[in-house]
Structure 1
Amino acid sequence: MSVKETQNRVKMVSYKVTVSTAIPAYATTLNNVFIKLVGTDGESDRSWLCNLSGPLAFTAGKVSTFTVLCPVSIGKPILIELDKKPLLLFREDSWFPDKVEVECPDGDTYNFPIYRWITDSEVHRFREGTALRVFEDIHHLGRYSRELELNQREKDYSWDVYSEGMPHNMKVEGPLSLPCEVRFSFTKTTEFGFTALAGIAELGLKGLSGSESSWTNMDDLNRVFCNKRTDISEYVQEHWKEDAFFGYQYLNGVNPMLIQRCTALPKNLPVTDDMLFLHGQRSLADEMKKGNIFLLDYKRLDGLTANIVNGKQQYLMAPLVLLQKTPDDTLMPIAIQLKQTPADDNPIFLPTDSEYDWLTAKLFVRSADFSEHQLNVHLLRTHLLAEVFAVSLLRNVPMVHPLYKLLIPHTRYTLQINFLARLALISETGVFTKFASSGGEAMGTILKRSLSSMTYSSLCMPEDIAERGMEEVPNYYYRDDGLKLWDIIQRFVEGVLTFYYKSDEEVEKDTELQKWISDIFEHGFLSQKSTGIPQRFTSVAELVKFVTMVIFTCSAQHSAVNTGQYDYGGWMPNTPISLQLPPPTTKGTTSEATMLNTLPDVSTTVQGMSTVWLLSKPSSDFVTLGQFPEGHFSEVIPWELMKDFQGELEVLSAAIEVRNRKLDIPYTYLDPAKMENSVAI
């Protein structure tokens, strides 16, 4: 090097660049990596990132430091440009960097979150981590980068219509056509595939998966069930016939959303005091006044044509059920009408009826609950809505926006799991379509009815509990844990959003925020004003409430209605996927034999058991609520709020664990320590 070159080099401004590569499998690149620093006063040349580690500088989990020289100061860094090129004779590979940190000559360090795959040789731009709303992003290069990002996102995340009357979804041809950053990890892909194949294979080896025979005795069913058990599924097998357990499930099973306090008897349920109360001990009117009567109404299932499974007509009822809270705070079923319209051939079944009349009536209710739960409570109200929230976020909100930073953890794996659900569960050849009594033609009708009757308030737990009159019901652990979780999430969301939005006016003028909610209203709720979903945000409080609902739906609510599926559905008679005989039209005509012939056949049972086992089993790389492995925020206040959030969740988790030690059936589905951060299974 000449003296002149040495002098020029001494005059150069030096920037320390630290690059962190992610830990996951295949995150490593052996390509040459280049960077350009862009600041408020200028930019560096495109520089090759090279140090003593050579091609190993960007291996998985590696943190490598480099020096980038500039003739003059670039000012405050606002973005970086990254690209990579394969070495001679080497192939182009994929790279997953976590973040880049740039230390300026004055000692200030700037963070550039990445957390995405770079799979090509194109230039990729990433913003400095300080959150910026669109109206405060004033530098022309920053605005240009923002525009380029959203233009590309609109192409990558396109809306599609899977079925009329359902929320819209992301247009995707297959998992490999999804953008890399939203696909399953290698770990998730491997474990999910193994679990799916193992369940069917295990039962297939026993010669069961293809059998269309009916069950001839409960012992045969028990031998299938014994392959996979949980503590709760064993409890269910032992107690499924009991009225007290039947009632308990509507508080703390997988569908705690249907039950409501009954203040006036439905006109289409002609129950009398003489039916329910011997010797005039009580009256229904008095019991309703005391708040002791509850209703289950499966009206969304009324008038549907049930599926044909294995060539045989199946049956699906739309029951009305009354339950009564006893003096010892037990919830007991006291009347079941299996069809919505009263008639001579639609008897009201009572606990005083014969053993198998009453048990068969409960079977039809539990089978109806399977369909109501899977299609409305689980698929629509968590999976499909979570996809709408995610696609709208990815289309309309850039990485530098505070809303993106807040919500991106709650979109993890959702787009791929929903694609797989459409492919393997509700497509023409899907398990649900082929084997559930509400599969096929009925499925679309149920989803349309469910969406048309959905309200914003029913998605907000405090309002939903109040509207259903369930504030004071004892032993309702879904409510107790859920309301505490809602409050914890709301405090966190309020803290973050009020840090960025100081006035209602700032919310109103954030065009990216408004486009996000506008897309949700249009594509998620099909522009139905009756839902009460806001079409735009007019205040900080309104924004906080909606974002709280989104996070609660994607984490807590999904956990509540998904995690226990095998616990309560693994023992098939407790939650039959379908029923093969019509309900009795007169009392006194049932027996154990007719009950066994009513249950789904062997192959249908096997398919149902394997599916709920798969849907209840998270992968080992799941991320619990409150954990933020990706550092999208750069400011101090959001990180302090995250720590407070985590602390509150830990306190709640400990309280739930203490309570559960005293319970015969522990309620763990809303324990933050056991809850996934997103709809990922």
Structure 2
Amino acid sequence: MFSVPVVGGLFNKGHKVKGTVVLMGKNVLDLNEITAVASGGVGGAVGGALGTLTGILGSAVDGATSIFSQSIALQLISATKTDGQGNGKVGKQTYLQKHLPTLPNLGAAQDAFDIYFEWDDDFGIPGAFYIKNFMQVEFFLVSVTLEDIPNHGSIHFDCKSWIYNAKKYKNDRIFFVNQTFLPSETPAALVKYREEELQNLRGDGKGERKEWDRIYDYDVYNDLGNPDAGAKSARPVLGGSSSHPYPRRGRTGRKATRKDPKSETPSSSVYVPRDENFGHLKSSDFLTYGIKSISQTLLPTFTSKIFTEFNSFDEVRSLYDGGIRLPTDVFSKISPLPVLKEILRTDGEQVLKFPPPKVISVSKSAWMTDEEFGREMLAGVNPCVIRRLQEFPPQSALDAAIYGDQASTITKEHLEVNLEGVTFEQALSGQRLFILDYHDAFIPYLRKINEFAKSYATRTILFLKDDGTLKPLVIELSLPHPDGDQFGADSKVVLPATEGAESTIWLLAKAYVIVNDSCYHQLMSHWLNTHAAMEPFIIATNRHLSVLHPIYKLLYPHYRDTMNINALARSSLINAGGIIEQTFLPGPYSVEISSAVYKNWVFPDQALPADLIKRGLASEDSSSPHGLRLVIEDYPYAVDGLEIWDAIKTWVRDYVSLYYTTNEAVQKDSELQAWWKDVVENGHADLKDKPWWPKLQTIDELIQSSSTIIWIGSALHAAVNFGQYPYGGYILNRPTLSRRLIPEKGTPEYDELGTNPQKSYLRTITAKSEALVDLSVIEILSRHASDEIYLGQRDNPNWTSDTRALQAFKKFGTTLAEIEQNITRRNNDSSQRNRTGPVELPYTLLLPTSKEGLTFRGIPNSISI
């Protein structure tokens, strides 16, 4: 436990133990203060904000250090000696002393201070400490290191927490030694402190949470709308009902709206537990405020000022060459943030300009090909929906009593036209037919959606060719029946064509599919399956797993900033009238649709192997790599993803086996069992009775569940997030909404299909104003922060004192480096046509590492943007 060999000699009465306290001052870090200083207009502010930041960092540290040493006190807590009541002895309150010069490896804006603790021969070995802040301003505590503890050696505390004035807390702030203990193995002197800290983090479920709170509790999604602003601003409560189930979010406790006591009053400043709001420590906070700026300024400005249409594909491409002139008054309203410097050019030209999306970096027109259309289902930004066709015609799971017969109208004759000599039966039995099916997701909402937009629910069937590529055979476009939902769908089938109006109709049919895909991607594959599904695990982990617990140490890097970014989404992205509702097809029904999909969410199926098997794209085969045989061998997301999955699971197995040697140890771990019970019964309460939940009674269940959580927070999110701008930044390739249906024969609009196909396409898909907002947002969301931490990395080499765990983690990093080489090699193999496709864009989204910026690669540890 505490048995490091003697360092620094034997104990002597009057001995003082030296410590080093590393912290950062609040005024160094607060972005609100930085932006308040940078207020001299867009041109000067955007250009000079980073310089302003640098000045603030320097001057603020110099001014703050003079008071830190007099206003911060620590008390050590013994892990080996008790106070007579079984609790670790608490030492004398001791203040910070001399400010130290910059230490080697000290991070930017960090300061170090000496502290000396008087030693008592009956105190024993420290295992925790209390800290009090007597200043009115908070600071960020990075770490504390004690040197030359008599009969022990040095002890490190990895803290990373905001410390407010001591009067803000009901209980003193406590930090524990950087060691790992199962609950039953905790030193007796620390047991009470460990349990009390978890009680503090759980709170009592009452009252409105304050900025300095660190309480983790659950609530439903009842803050997306604002009934007090009128019926159009109201949104249904998601979670807590069978009609609208949803994962839980962090509770804020804000007051209810006047018109609906079940809804919470929205706020632009949403509470998250203070340490979940790292800010403002990282450059992604600039991205956070950039999104707010777009939501609050660019969105209404574009909507009111830009009425024109794109008139040609060349005009769309001009966004990346010359940009678009904006009204002069736009710039006086925009927050002066560096995040906008890549978007807004204010050098006198006053234009909006975007970086070229990678999908058109080699070819301007290859995105239009059928091969690229199919390839992006395997290697695009949403590669986790396509499935093997196993029943024909495709059926619907919608309630026939409400929606009538929703079975597909596609026939085998439709398919055989383009099967290249293969019969339908041969293609089906040979596992060569695949389907991208969005019919059931959209049909229940389509009648309401088409009151303000115009679109279809789609089914697309594709054929696996001999060269490994996918060829679209048919697209079914379905509308609600004009006589009522109970009469089923009103469907038409569109076949590929290369000439005349029919070729434009085929291009439009593919666009309707992509509109469905873009919306499903953003709302389900991205938001629901990663952001929203992960939050309950974060809350439960902090409520029930002590920082001393090995599974806490395993999982916490994969939670970094997620609650923070989710709170931002609720206030600016998915809220009523927010960016998603304004620029995506479902509009006010956007998040409600994701609630309907959540009904069928299954936690074990989030693991990649289970997902591939469920979609019919793989089968178990012990002789194949990763124990799976892929139906489509050249499936970049699956091939790269399985390597990453196996690396994650191997690392988790190596780590978990250090602390659990029997299934009984898992079963008797009180914190672990409370954690999982909380996840199931409270975090995902609307699905708590589902039989598929792991019981967490065995080591294998713990390994599989932990691996799945890490996969969701790291690789799955990376796969569906960082390709957004590279693919969707070219709005022609990934439109987010459609505004009219396919024209009827005999109309001028139909004639235009043959005479001016580009105009017909542009009048159908996302309009210019919505496209500009959409591009502005997804460019931000596709960027990596400068201080991002990637899979296989930690922000502190001292994250644990267990050398066995450090060695296993090093092995994990080595494996990931090898995977990176494997992916690069596959991308250079010209025989694997789906790796690059007609657009010649290598699939790099699951390369583990990245640099800062818009890189189209890199797997961050967590959902941090």
TM-score clears 0.5: yes
- 5+ residue gaps in structure 2? 1-10, 30-60, 83-88, 204-214, 222-237, 240-244, 253-266, 322-352, 396-406, 482-487, 618-629, 830-835, 850-857
**What does the per-residue CA deviation read over 1:612-659, in whole Å, with 9 as the maximum and x for residues that have no partner?**
112112221211111111333121111111111111111111222233
For the 8 Å contact 1:386–1:550, the answer to whether it is kept is: yes
Instruction: Decide which moves more: 462-471 or 518-527.
Output: 518-527
For the 8 Å contact 2:94–2:115, the answer to whether it is kept is: no
Matched, 1:192 2:287: yes
Aligned twin of 1:323: 462
Instruction: Decide which moves more: 658-667 or 159-168.
Output: 658-667
**How far apart, in 2, do the equivalents of 1:157 and 1:236 lie?**
49
2:604 to 453, 457, 463: 457
Summarize the Cα distance change of 1:431–1:403 in structure 2 as closer, same or farther, 3 Å threshold: same
1:152 to 172, 194, 200: 200
Aligned pairs for 1:632-651 within 5 A: 632-651=799-818
Summarize the Cα distance change of 1:119–1:210 in structure 2 as closer, same or farther, 3 Å threshold: same
For the 8 Å contact 1:34–1:46, the answer to whether it is kept is: no
Summarize the Cα distance change of 1:206–1:375 in structure 2 as closer, same or farther, 3 Å threshold: closer
Aligned twin of 2:318: 223
CA drift at 1:368: 0.4
Summarize the Cα distance change of 1:10–1:634 in structure 2 as closer, same or farther, 3 Å threshold: closer
For the 8 Å contact 1:13–1:72, the answer to whether it is kept is: no
For the 8 Å contact 2:359–2:367, the answer to whether it is kept is: no
Matched, 1:483 2:642: yes
**How far apart, in 2, do the equivalents of 1:233 and 1:184 lie?**
36
**How far apart, in 2, do the equivalents of 1:202 and 1:327 lie?**
51
Instruction: Give 2:767's aligned amino acid.
Output: D
Aligned twin of 1:4: none
**Paired residue secondary structure (1:18):** strand
**What does the per-residue CA deviation read over 1:206-253, in whole Å, with 9 as the maximum and x for residues that have no partner?**
978732444333233222354321333535852221100000010011
**How far apart, in 2, do the equivalents of 1:632 and 1:572 lie?**
43
TM-score (norm 1): 0.90
CA drift at 1:107: 4.0
Summarize the Cα distance change of 1:21–1:253 in structure 2 as closer, same or farther, 3 Å threshold: same
**Paired residue secondary structure (1:571):** coil
**What does the per-residue CA deviation read over 1:557-592, in whole Å, with 9 as the maximum and x for residues that have no partner?**
000000001111111122211111124577977442
**Paired residue secondary structure (1:453):** coil
1:672 to 824, 837, 848: 848
Aligned twin of 2:761: 595
For the 8 Å contact 2:478–2:489, the answer to whether it is kept is: no
**How far apart, in 1, do the equivalents of 2:534 and 2:272 lie?**
16
**Paired residue secondary structure (1:541):** helix
**Paired residue secondary structure (1:433):** helix
Instruction: Decide which moves more: 639-648 or 527-536.
Output: 527-536
**How far apart, in 2, do the equivalents of 1:513 and 1:626 lie?**
24
Aligned twin of 1:181: 275
Instruction: Give 2:140's aligned amino acid.
Output: W
CA drift at 1:461: 0.4
Aligned twin of 1:560: 719
Aligned twin of 1:514: 673
CA drift at 1:526: 2.8
**How far apart, in 2, do the equivalents of 1:34 and 1:202 lie?**
45
Instruction: Give 1:185's aligned amino acid.
Output: G
For the 8 Å contact 1:81–1:125, the answer to whether it is kept is: yes
For the 8 Å contact 2:738–2:765, the answer to whether it is kept is: yes
**Paired residue secondary structure (1:37):** strand
**What does the per-residue CA deviation read over 1:85-124, in whole Å, with 9 as the maximum and x for residues that have no partner?**
34xxxx5442322233353212433322212121223632
Aligned twin of 2:157: 112
Aligned twin of 2:452: 313
Aligned twin of 2:49: none
Instruction: Give 2:143's aligned amino acid.
Output: D
Aligned twin of 1:251: 378
For the 8 Å contact 1:393–1:516, the answer to whether it is kept is: yes
**Paired residue secondary structure (1:606):** helix
1:18 to 9, 17, 20: 20
**How far apart, in 1, do the equivalents of 2:566 and 2:364 lie?**
31
Instruction: Decide which moves more: 550-559 or 515-524.
Output: 515-524
2:421 to 281, 285, 306: 281
Aligned twin of 1:167: 247
Aligned twin of 1:446: 593
**How far apart, in 1, do the equivalents of 2:421 and 2:101 lie?**
85
Summarize the Cα distance change of 1:351–1:150 in structure 2 as closer, same or farther, 3 Å threshold: same
Instruction: Give 2:219's aligned amino acid.
Output: D
Summarize the Cα distance change of 1:244–1:521 in structure 2 as closer, same or farther, 3 Å threshold: same
Matched, 1:347 2:483: no
Aligned twin of 1:300: 441
CA drift at 1:19: 2.7
Matched, 1:41 2:81: yes
**How far apart, in 1, do the equivalents of 2:553 and 2:519 lie?**
36
Instruction: Decide which moves more: 580-589 or 186-195.
Output: 580-589
Matched, 1:577 2:742: no
Instruction: Decide which moves more: 96-105 or 528-537.
Output: 528-537
Instruction: Give 2:729's aligned amino acid.
Output: G
Instruction: Give 1:359's aligned amino acid.
Output: L
Instruction: Give 2:442's aligned amino acid.
Output: L
For the 8 Å contact 1:317–1:339, the answer to whether it is kept is: yes
For the 8 Å contact 2:302–2:773, the answer to whether it is kept is: no
Summarize the Cα distance change of 1:577–1:64 in structure 2 as closer, same or farther, 3 Å threshold: same
**Paired residue secondary structure (1:368):** helix
Aligned twin of 1:5: none
**How far apart, in 1, do the equivalents of 2:704 and 2:363 lie?**
37
Instruction: Give 1:548's aligned amino acid.
Output: S
For the 8 Å contact 1:364–1:583, the answer to whether it is kept is: no
CA drift at 1:160: 1.2
**What does the per-residue CA deviation read over 1:124-165, in whole Å, with 9 as the maximum and x for residues that have no partner?**
2112222122222251x4122122211221131221111232
Instruction: Decide which moves more: 373-382 or 453-462.
Output: 453-462
For the 8 Å contact 2:100–2:114, the answer to whether it is kept is: no
Matched, 1:472 2:631: yes
Aligned twin of 2:120: 71
Summarize the Cα distance change of 1:656–1:596 in structure 2 as closer, same or farther, 3 Å threshold: same
Instruction: Decide which moves more: 321-330 or 31-40.
Output: 31-40
**What does the per-residue CA deviation read over 1:282-333, in whole Å, with 9 as the maximum and x for residues that have no partner?**
2111111122111111121222146679xx7202422111000112211110
Aligned twin of 1:540: 699
Instruction: Decide which moves more: 614-623 or 639-648.
Output: 614-623
Percent pairwise identity: 25
CA drift at 1:65: 4.5
Instruction: Decide which moves more: 325-334 or 127-136.
Output: 127-136
Matched, 1:628 2:794: yes
Aligned twin of 1:3: none
For the 8 Å contact 1:293–1:322, the answer to whether it is kept is: yes
Instruction: Give 2:200's aligned amino acid.
Output: Q
Instruction: Decide which moves more: 51-60 or 266-275.
Output: 51-60
For the 8 Å contact 2:20–2:146, the answer to whether it is kept is: yes
Instruction: Decide which moves more: 612-621 or 279-288.
Output: 279-288
CA drift at 1:476: 0.9
Instruction: Give 1:21's aligned amino acid.
Output: L
Summarize the Cα distance change of 1:351–1:556 in structure 2 as closer, same or farther, 3 Å threshold: same
CA drift at 1:404: 1.3
**Paired residue secondary structure (1:597):** helix
For the 8 Å contact 1:247–1:332, the answer to whether it is kept is: yes
1:611 to 777, 781, 786: 777
Summarize the Cα distance change of 1:174–1:144 in structure 2 as closer, same or farther, 3 Å threshold: farther
1:53 to 79, 99, 106: 99
Instruction: Give 2:306's aligned amino acid.
Output: S
For the 8 Å contact 1:318–1:340, the answer to whether it is kept is: yes
TM-score (norm 2): 0.71
Instruction: Give 1:295's aligned amino acid.
Output: I
Aligned pairs for 1:408-427 within 5 A: 408-427=556-575
